[in-house]
């Protein structure tokens, strides 16, 4: 009786059908502790891979650069799990900006690629979520700044009601400036925007995958030699959640928890990236999670774990969630890397007095990573 449904799903091969089937599977699994796909004889891997679609992204053009010319010729496939690597100033951020700018829906700080550049994407009906891991430390100052902005806003409202036209004009200008600053202040509003779009069952599944990976690593820690076990135990100490009242945090190792980020070090940055990923995974539409240097402020093992988790979510989403990161961390990259992951190496070339930014090739998991100075030097010296 189930085979007409199986045939219909296979024939349509629709990501909408796939998402509904996946949500049904999660619901039944939660109640009966078994997997509906076994009964339906419908491997999730089939639905997953049939929904994958390429996403060509191209950035091209010329920019004035310190009295010279910068030629941009970049093209990548941004579907699935994608890493952009290479030295600074090679165009990684330009590609992320292009994907974000062209998305029909966007969550994140206002961001736009240079207007002189051509920014082409294969399709635009997607949601783009942009995270700059370096800038998330602004959360630590958010409360103090917001309190002062509230006082400025009250003054601006008083001026807007003043008798003189000039005073009203100044009041309007101040009020607009306060509103603009609030739009780029802190990540809480952006995290909550992603959370509001996320499906509860899929968010629960993303948390489950985090816990499974976490427990797997704990087992590895127990099996590890005593001299490395202590380091292995601290691979991801803090996890975050978001409410309308602000961020809440939990330190699993210490058994501590609290609200607000003031008592935390900048180590909450990778935890915030993971939180973005959980909510992005829960969104029932094609979504591109764009992360600038997700390894920021992370211990090497924490960076590796975060890479493995982001890659796992992209793979399990079946093409619904695409994760594109720019990174300078070999530890993050090794965690992120797996079969099917695309790693583009961006380089600068000097040609005819101009600097050209191009994709030099793809990394295939070798020990030598082009653009990572330490491993490049080790290879040059014949060292492992």
pLDDT by residue (tens digit) across 292-314?
Answer: 999 988 888 899 999 999 999 99
Q: Round to whole Å and give the CA distance between 218 and 232.
A: 8
Beta bridge partners of 263: none
* pLDDT score of 205: 93
- Give the Cβ contact number of residue 25 at 10 Å: 20
Q: Which residue numbers in the chain have pLDDT < 50?
A: 1-14, 17, 30, 32-50, 384
* pLDDT score of 11: 39
pTM of the full structure? 0.77
Biggest alpha carbon–alpha carbon distance for the chain: 78
* pLDDT score of 132: 85
Asked whether 239 and 271 are in contact (CB, 8 A), the reply is yes
Least Cα distance to 336 among 357, 315, 359 occurs for 315
Q: Round to whole Å and give the CA distance between 380 and 372.
A: 12
Query: Where does residue 383 rank: exposed (0-12), middle (13-18), buried (19+ CB within 10 A)?
Result: exposed
């Amino acid at each position: 009786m189930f085979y007409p449904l199986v045939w219909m799903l296979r024939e349509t091969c629709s990501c909408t059908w796939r998402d509904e089937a996946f949500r049904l599977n999660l619901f039944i699994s939660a109640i009966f502790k078994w997997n509906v796909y076994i009964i339906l004889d419908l491997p999730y891997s089939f639905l997953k891979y049939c929904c994958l679609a390429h996403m060509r992204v191209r950035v091209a053009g010329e920019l004035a650069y310190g009295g010279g010319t910068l030629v941009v010729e970049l093209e990548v496939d941004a579907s699935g799990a994608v890493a952009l690597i290479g030295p600074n100033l090679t165009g990684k951020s330009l590609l992320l900006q292009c994907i974000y700018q062209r998305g029909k829906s966007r969550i994140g700080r206002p961001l736009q690629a240079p207007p002189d550049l051509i920014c082409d994407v294969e399709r635009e009906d997607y949601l783009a979520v942009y995270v700059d891991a370096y800038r998330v430390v602004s959360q630590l100052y958010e409360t103090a700044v917001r309190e002062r902005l509230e006082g400025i806003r009250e003054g601006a409202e008083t001026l807007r009601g003043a008798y003189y036209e000039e005073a009203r004009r100044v009041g309007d200008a101040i009020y607009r400036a306060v509103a603009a600053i609030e739009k780029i202040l802190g990540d809480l509003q952006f995290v909550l925007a992603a959370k509001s779009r996320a499906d509860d069952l899929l968010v629960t599944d993303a948390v489950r995958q985090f816990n499974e990976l976490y427990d797997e690593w704990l087992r590895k820690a127990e099996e590890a030699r005593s001299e490395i076990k202590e380091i292995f135990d601290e691979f991801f100490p803090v996890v975050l959640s978001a409410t309308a009242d602000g961020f809440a945090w939990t330190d699993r190792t210490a058994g501590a928890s609290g609200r607000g980020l003031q008592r935390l070090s900048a180590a909450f940055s990778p935890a915030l990236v993971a939180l973005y990923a959980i909510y992005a995974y829960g969104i029932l539409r094609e979504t591109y999670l764009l992360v600038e240097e997700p390894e920021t402020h992370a211990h090497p093992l924490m960076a590796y774990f975060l890479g493995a988790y982001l890659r796992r979510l992209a793979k399990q989403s079946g093409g619904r969630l695409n994760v594109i990161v720019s990174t300078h961390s070999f530890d993050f990259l090794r965690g992120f890397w797996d079969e099917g992951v695309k790693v583009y190496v961006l380089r600068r070339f000097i040609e005819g007095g101009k600097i050209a930014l191009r994709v030099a090739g793809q990394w295939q998991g070798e020990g030598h990573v082009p653009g990572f100075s330490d491993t490049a030097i080790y290879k040059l010296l014949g060292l492992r």
